[in-house]
Amino acid sequence: MLKFLIIPSLSFSVFFILFLPVVNAATIVVSIPPLASALKPLLSENDKIVVLLPANQSPHHFSLKPSHLIEIAKADLLISVGVGVDDWAGKAFANQQLRNKTPHIIFAQVEGVTLLSRSKKGGSHSHHHHAHNHGTANYDPHLWLDLDNIKALLETVSKTDLAVSKEKLANELKKLSQLDEENKRILEPVQQVAFLIEHPAFNYFEKKYQLNNVGSIELNESGTSLKHMMKLQQKIETENVRCIFKSAHTSSKKVATLLGSNNRAINIETLNPMGDESLVTAQVFSNLVQQYLRCLQ
pLDDT of residue 131: 43
Fold entry, domain 183-296: Rossmann fold (3.40.50)
3-state SS, residue 77: strand
3-state SS, residue 191: coil
pLDDT of residue 263: 60
| d(C-alpha 11, C-alpha 167), whole Å | 39
pLDDT digits 0-9 by tens, 249-267: 888 887 877 776 666 789 9
pLDDT of residue 251: 82
β 124-130/113-118 pair status? antiparallel
List the domain boundaries for the chain: 27-170, 183-296
Residue 76: name the closest of 54, 49, 55 by CA. 49
Low-confidence stretches of the chain (pLDDT beneath 50): 1-7, 9-22, 120-134
Contact 43, 77 (CB under 8 A): no
Enumerate residues 6+ apart whose C-beta is below 8 A from 211.
Answer: 187, 190, 191, 195, 205, 292, 296
pLDDT of residue 252: 81
pLDDT of residue 224: 67
Residue 277: name the closest of 54, 42, 58 by CA. 54
pLDDT of residue 19: 47
Contact 247, 142 (CB under 8 A): no
Pick the CATH number of 27-170 from 3.40.50.1980, 3.30.1370.100, 3.30.429.10, 4.10.780.10: 3.40.50.1980
pLDDT of residue 270: 95
pLDDT of residue 2: 41
